[in-house]
Chains A and B, each alone.
Chain A
Amino acid sequence: MAFTLYALIQTAILLTNAVAVLHEERFLSKIGWGADQGIGGFGDEPGIKAQLLNLIRSVRTVMRVPLIAVNSVCIVLLLLFG
């Protein structure tokens, strides 16, 4: 399989966009993955599900603004160069 670095960047952007589009109250809460449903006690270390929810929430918070910029750049480049 011939991968290029460009394909990797494309995959990364698409995956990050996919995570950023998950809606908090329409989708994540419905399937029990909401931001307030994952955190257990402060005792033992969190399990995999709690870590995953944490990851999704932090990706959505952190990557919102940079994704706007990156997507705009992608749109412009794809319009210009096909």
Chain B
Amino acid sequence: FSQYPHLLPLMRNPSADISGPSPLFEDTSTGSPPGGHRGQDKGPVNYPGQSLLSDPMSNLAMAYGSSLATQGKEMMDKNLDRFIPISKLKYYFAVDTLYVGKKLGLLVFPYMHQNWEVSYQQDTPVAPRFDINAPDLYIPVMGFITYVLVAGLALGTQNRFTPEILGMQASSALVWLIIEVLATLLSLYLVTVNTDLTTIDLVAFSGYKYVGMIMGVLSGLLFGRTGYYLSLLWCCLSIFVFMIRTLRLKILSEAAAEGVLVRGAKNQLRMYLTMAIAAAQPVFMYWLTFHLVR
């Protein structure tokens, strides 16, 4: 085995294992295949793990397989990074519990918050962990999954549950999310807004409404239709105000964002666009939940 020097450390351990307990089978490291087969009769029955590791051929195969797997993983990572920017995605998941708690509170009660600007650090936005105004993807992803589960729960209490509808609810909500993000992208392109909103930012903002939807459905389960309508109304209003205050800084020009009334068709159009995006949220919230609460 001088041609496989890198495999020697691997093979040293299994041989140490064999010499410990009783040598139920012969050392097959130098034996020919027929002798090896005979000697390994009792091996697989009593010590299956050891026989697998002691056979140098399978050792070799394992080592080769693991090196192939590493190579394949590297290649896939490199290619995947071209389509889905994984490093950029990691920024959106850099959250901690305090941020999530404060952000959830902000989504439900955005009326007291004063400073809505996203802080920057040498041209790159600060991670969500340090800035409550930064968009993140953790809450939308968790909200989406929770929404699907709560929808299943709600349908289960009405005896309308089958396992297929979980998938249907998930794909339905996902499709509406994609449609909403595409429509927002299209309208942002048509109005020629010079903004630094990326697609992932839009996905994050569109995903914040799942929090309100979950609260609506849960209170509908606990308190009936009145509870559902009341909490949905509250959450719709909060999301509306939240979206307007957040998008105002990103879409409108500097002067208009300060609150000064800037006339001009351009700013008016942008204001209409902001209000349309914010108004679409309550519509979707109602549309995706009203069939869950009877």
Contact = CB atoms under 8 A, between A and B. Distances in A.
Contacts of B178: 8
Interface of B is mostly: helix
Given A8-B175, A8-B178, A8-B179, A2 B168 contact: yes
A55 interface: yes
A52 B231 CA distance: 40
B192 A51 contact: yes
B189 A55 contact: yes
Contacts of B269: 48
Contact of B171 (A4, A46, A52): A4
B191 interface: yes
Contacts, number: 31
B175 A7 contact: yes
Which of B174, B175, B179, B189 has the most chain A CB atoms closer than 10 A to its own CB? B175
B interface, size bucket: 10 to 19
Interface string A28-69: 000000000000000001101001100100000000000000
B176 interface: yes
Nearest to A50: B192
Nearest to A3: B175
A5 interface: yes
B189 A5 contact: no
A48 B168 CA distance: 37
A5 B175 CA distance: 6
A1 interface: yes
Contacts of B176: 3
B174 A5 contact: yes
Contact of A51 (B171, B174, B189, B287): B189
A80 B268 CA distance: 52
Given A5-B171, A51-B189, A51-B191, 20 more contacts: A1-B172, A2-B168, A2-B172, A3-B171, A3-B175, A3-B176, A4-B168, A4-B171, A5-B174, A5-B175, A7-B175, A8-B178, A8-B179, A45-B192, A46-B192, A48-B190, A48-B191, A51-B190, A51-B192, A52-B190
29 contacts: A1-B172, A1-B287, A2-B172, A3-B171, A3-B172, A3-B175, A3-B176, A4-B168, A4-B171, A4-B172, A4-B175, A5-B171, A5-B174, A5-B175, A7-B175, A8-B175, A8-B178, A8-B179, A45-B192, A46-B192, A48-B190, A48-B191, A48-B269, A51-B189, A51-B190, A51-B191, A52-B190, A55-B189, A55-B190
Interface of B: 168, 171-172, 174-176, 178-179, 189-192, 269, 287
